[in-house]
């Protein structure tokens, strides 16, 4: 398997991440980036020097947050024979091998995920109904496999959105007390839990619905047994626990419609700590995220020091970090971000950033 394109979706507010993203993916990794912009390019500083930009307009009769996030998945059907990877606009790569040599022996017809072990169960009030979803990034498959797995051709784009809106939003997303406390969420993640300016409760509760819905459809396409809600034994790494018995909009498949490679992601971390908040100290520095894929995370961001605490230059140079999940907004962490990325990619990161952002960074 060889990834041909990576697809992003973004609002105008988060558009500053695109220029550097497109440069790294195209010039450093050799994968063609595509970005769906929900807005107008003229309102941003986005450049198409290293990747394609597609403008979209919201349908204001439907949930905007899900239109934005689901569009990445939906776009893969436009090129059935292209191998796509789903990207995340504020998640920048820090090595090439993870996205190239790691998957080169996987057959082209397989659906895989390059960070499936990052979703560790967190504390919930009722563990019997807990489900673990795959992150809505690093899904990798050909366009036609995405189509089969996620039912992208089952109905129109409008109905793709409406059938998710018709369900109770709690079906597609876990709502923690932190999520309900918008200020607490913002303080921890560097932005409100929605990429647009308005603070709309209906929009916010569908944020991350792409994660829950794509995981749900993927589990069905792999071939889950309906009895007891358990996975078929061949694919038992997709779920950490039994899937809750909700009424289903479509029937479970009796057999697998796709092949899923679930044992791909190696354990790079020695943390493995699932304490509340997932914020722990490790041997490399303070505040690393307790995930199983090692990264420089926004949890590393020090608001006081204005830098990513605990990031080790040697580790970056030795490909020990997979990626960098950035604090938001872009301009607040830009200088420290560039320094961290230069550890991995060299000082030409500074030159590329300057060339691509001559008009300044949208704030």
Q: In what order do the strands lie in the sheet with 110-113?
A: 52-56, 32-38, 5-11, 83-86, 139-142, 110-113, 259-261
Asked whether residue 84 carries a pLDDT value surpassing 70, the answer given is yes
Buried b (16+ CB within 10 A) or exposed e, 65-74: bbbbbbbbbb
What pLDDT, in 10s, does the model give residues 86-124?
999 999 999 999 999 988 988 999 999 887 554 333 333
Average pLDDT over residues 316-334: 90
Average pLDDT over residues 166-189: 61
Q: For residues 311 and 287, is the Cβ–Cβ distance under 8 A?
A: no
Q: Express as a percent the part of the chain with pLDDT over 70.
A: 68
Q: Cα 56 from chain centroid?
A: 20
Asked whether residue 26 carries a pLDDT value surpassing 80, the answer given is yes
Average pLDDT over residues 219-241: 45
What pLDDT, in 10s, does the model give residues 268-298?
443 333 333 333 333 333 333 334 457 888 8
Q: For residues 140 and 84, is the Cβ–Cβ distance under 8 A?
A: yes
Beta pairing partners, 56: 38
Confidence category of residue 19, pLDDT binned at 50, 70, 90: very high
Confidence category of residue 174, pLDDT binned at 50, 70, 90: low
* pTM of the shown model: 0.81
Beta pairing partners, 142: 83
Q: Which of 184-188, 228-232, 356-360 has the lowest mean pLDDT?
A: 228-232
* Cα→Cα distances 12→35, 43, 363, Å: 12, 7, 10
């Amino acid at each position: 398997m060889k990834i041909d394109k990576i697809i992003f979706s973004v609002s105008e507010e988060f558009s500053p991440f695109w220029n550097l993203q497109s440069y790294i993916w195209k010039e450093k990794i050799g994968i063609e980036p595509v970005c769906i912009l929900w807005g107008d390019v003229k309102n941003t500083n986005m450049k198409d020097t290293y990747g394609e930009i597609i403008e979209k307009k919201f349908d204001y009769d439907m949930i905007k947050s899900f239109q934005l996030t689901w569009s990445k998945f939906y776009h893969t059907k436009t090129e059935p024979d292209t191998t796509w990877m789903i990207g995340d606009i504020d998640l920048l790569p820090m090595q090439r091998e993870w996205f190239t040599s790691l998957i080169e022996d996987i057959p082209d017809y397989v659906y895989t995920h390059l960070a499936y072990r990052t979703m560790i169960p967190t504390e919930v009030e009722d563990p019997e109904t807990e489900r673990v979803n795959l992150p809505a990034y690093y899904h990798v498959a050909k366009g036609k496999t995405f189509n089969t797995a996620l039912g992208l051709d089952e109905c129109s784009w409008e109905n793709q959105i409406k059938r998710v809106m018709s369900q109770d939003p709690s079906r597609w997303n876990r709502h923690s007390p932190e999520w309900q406390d918008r200020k607490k969420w913002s303080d921890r993640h560097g932005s409100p839990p929605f990429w647009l300016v308005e603070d709309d409760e209906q929009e916010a509760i569908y944020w991350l619905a792409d994660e829950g819905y794509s995981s749900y459809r993927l589990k069905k396409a792999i071939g889950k047994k309906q009895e007891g809600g358990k996975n078929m034994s061949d694919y038992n790494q997709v779920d950490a626990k039994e899937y809750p018995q909700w009424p289903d909009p479509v029937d479970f498949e009796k057999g697998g419609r796709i092949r899923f490679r679930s044992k791909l992601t190696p354990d790079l971390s020695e943390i493995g700590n699932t304490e509340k908040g997932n914020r722990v100290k490790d041997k490399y520095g303070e505040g690393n995220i307790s995930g199983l894929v090692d990264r420089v995370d926004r949890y590393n961001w020090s608001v006081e020091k204005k830098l990513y605490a605990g990031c080790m230059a040697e580790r970056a140079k030795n490909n020990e970090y997979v990626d960098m999940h950035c604090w938001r907004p872009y301009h607040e962490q830009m200088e420290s971000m560039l320094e961290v990325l230069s550890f991995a990619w060299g000082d030409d990161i500074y030159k590329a950033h300057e060339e691509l952002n001559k008009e300044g960074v949208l704030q």
